[in-house]
Amino acid sequence: MKIGIDTMGGDFAPIEAIKGAKDYLAGNSDAQLFLIGDEEKIGPLLTEYSLPAEACTVVHAPQVIDMHEHPIKALKEKQQSSIAVGFGLLAKNKIDAFISAGNTGAMLVGAMYSLNPVEGVLRPTISTIIPKENGGTGLLLDVGLNSDCKPEQLNQFAIMGSVYAQNILGIENPRVALINIGEEEGKGNLLAQAAYALLKVNRHINFIGNAEGRDIFIDKADVLVCDGFTGNIILKLAESFYEITQRKGINHEYLDRFNFENHGGTPVLGVSKPVIIGHGISKSKAFKNMIILAQQMIEKDILGKLKSELEN
């Protein structure tokens, strides 16, 4: 398999991407890595960090889309940027997955416009890992790709989240809950009420009912479904809680699990190829984890499984 990595994306580019690739290759030989970026900058680093030449292909991309550029405009104007080149390779089947810690908006636009959705998917989605109080891990989606949702979309997020939780997080028969503001059926806003009705008859998932704000970080459910507006607020609130505790010198191993840097990245679920978006602050560990995630998504045929769950 061939995994493309944007070496120019993220706050610590290109060095941390290269170090992450090296760390991956030290323990895995399954993937051929396509390192996309400015040849003049990457070349010397490959030598310096002694990356095995046979496992790496450098793809020259002289331009970079900065973190604050307008996604659509930048992708259009910078066709030689590492992100544009990456999506070009993906669309032409030259690579099987693409990873970047660069401009999130450009990655989302690229994923949505360069690739087709998986057959049957209304709208792709992005998720985040939830560090649970009991040490377990949950999945929250959507976290910002779809700010206004229809009930049918939430119903599909539940399926996509379940496939991901089962195959990537290793959770058997994941419990799915709807983020809501009350425990019983009939509670919540119009979207939640309508989504509940679909979820409870969805035979592809193990729906357990509503999860309130207070249930998100406890072990009530494994897959938490909401619209992207709500999910993005939850994600950024949780990140900021962690940051505040760090600034205040409050330390605890539980809080460390909120260091999203450790989790690698989040896949865009529902597009035809694995696309993984990393946090801007990604370091080598995050890059390594993203490459492993891309490999798992390919090996376990996550997208084929999504398609099969959505069509039956």
- What are the residues binding a copy of itself (CB under 8 A)? 133, 144, 147-148, 179, 181, 188-190, 192, 212-218, 227-230, 232-241, 243-245, 247-248, 250, 252, 254-255
Q: How far is the CB of 216 from a copy of itself (least distance, A)?
A: 6
Alpha helices (runs of H) in the chain, residue ranges in sequence order = 15-27, 39-48, 71-77, 82-91, 104-114, 151-167, 190-199, 228-247, 253-256, 284-299, 302-311
Collapsing DSSP to helix, strand or coil, 277 comes out as strand
Alpha helices (runs of H) in 115-213, residue ranges in sequence order = 151-167, 190-199
Q: How far is the CB of 125 from a copy of itself (least distance, A)?
A: 14
In the complex with a copy of itself, which residue's Cβ is closer, 173 or 240? 240
Locus of tokens 């998504």: 297
Q: How far is the CB of 260 from a copy of itself (least distance, A)?
A: 12
In the complex with a copy of itself, which residue's Cβ is closer, 49 or 217? 217
Q: How far is the CB of 123 from a copy of itself (least distance, A)?
A: 14
In the complex with a copy of itself, which residue's Cβ is closer, 52 or 186? 186
Collapsing DSSP to helix, strand or coil, 37 comes out as strand
Q: Taken in order 151, 152, 157, 159, is the CA torsion positive or negative?
A: positive
97 contacts 3 by C-beta, under 8 angstroms: yes
Return d(Cα 143, Cα 183) in angstroms, integer. 22
In the complex with a copy of itself, which residue's Cβ is closer, 82 or 146? 146
The 10 Å Cβ neighbour count of residue 44 is 11
Q: In what order do the strands lie in the sheet with 265-269?
A: 56-60, 32-37, 2-6, 97-100, 275-278, 265-269, 125-131, 137-141, 223-225, 175-179, 206-211
The CA–CA distances, whole Å, from 298 to 85, 95, 273, 277, 309 equal 21, 11, 9, 16, 17
By DSSP bridging, strand 137-141 and strand 223-225 are: parallel
Q: Where is 99: in which H helix or E strand?
A: strand 97-100
In the complex with a copy of itself, which residue's Cβ is closer, 183 or 301? 183
Q: How far is the CB of 182 from a copy of itself (least distance, A)?
A: 9
In the complex with a copy of itself, which residue's Cβ is closer, 230 or 282? 230
Q: How far is the CB of 69 from a copy of itself (least distance, A)?
A: 13
In the complex with a copy of itself, which residue's Cβ is closer, 32 or 193? 193
In the complex with a copy of itself, which residue's Cβ is closer, 203 or 252? 252
